[in-house]
Amino acid sequence: MKKGRSSGFLLLAAVLTAAGCSSELALERIRLEIPGKPEFLIKDAPEIILPGFWEEAGIKGVPLSPELNDHWKNALKREFKGRVTEKLVTWTNAEMLNAPDIWKEAGKGSPGAFLLTGTATFTTETRKALVGVSTGKFEGPWDRPNAWAENQNFSLRLEVVLLRADDGSVAFRKEFRDAMSTENKKSTPAYILRDLLDRISPKLFSAIFGSPRTLERYLLRK
């Protein structure tokens, strides 16, 4: 677990503990909009082209690159005023990202446009842990029988690259990571992937559009 996320959980645990110690305190969740810090602005570009992503690793039954393109097509329409078009390229390896002629050809006829592409890794693993199971009877903390519980852990890594259609050069390159764990066996990998993309998108859009990010915080009120 990342240090920042760990400290967030510890802070929330402390807040909940404090709330539990006093019947006069109420826990309130609030949302804060944090202004974006653009690293490379493209909001005034006339067009964003989606050529697909190189799949470094995926999960069987999940067409990773098509899922990514579908997500970006819908998400970009809410943030970007220009055109969003799909022009798929045939991938042979990740080194294609360092070949300007390929992207210059893919962006032909779209002056001033950018190509949004990169590499993607989507993996899963099953973890088991012993947990105490309640029997419904009065019992002490050490009286509960143990049982194995399974968690399905999913990880998504995206290296997002923006390329200039005019000359195929790299304008922006950044890695994004997120993970999610679930005990619900009915949660499909495709569903989890969409959730992870919904969490990564605001970080990307903050970097390339200056879009604000929404953060959740907790307050104790009397």
Long-range CB contacts for residues 3-10, cutoff 8 Å, separation at least 24: none
Phi, psi of 67 (to 5 degrees): -65, -40
Condensed to tens digits (0 to 9), the pLDDT of residues 150-181 reads: 778 999 999 999 999 999 999 999 999 999 99
Condensed to tens digits (0 to 9), the pLDDT of residues 32-73 reads: 555 546 566 787 899 999 999 999 999 999 999 999 999 999
Residue 200, C-beta contacts closer than 8 angstroms, at least 6 positions apart = 156, 158, 176, 178
Phi, psi of 72 (to 5 degrees): -65, -35
**Domains of the chain, first to last:** 36-213 (3.40.50)
**Residue 118's closest CA among 82, 151, 158, 79?**
158
- CA-to-CA separations, 12 to 78, 103, 213, 218, 219, in angstroms, rounded: 32, 46, 20, 7, 10
Q: Which of 77-86, 128-137, 174-183, 197-206 has the lowest mean pLDDT?
A: 128-137
Q: Are 183 and 16 in contact (CB under 8 A)?
A: no
What is the reported pTM? Answer: 0.72
Q: Are 196 and 189 in contact (CB under 8 A)?
A: no
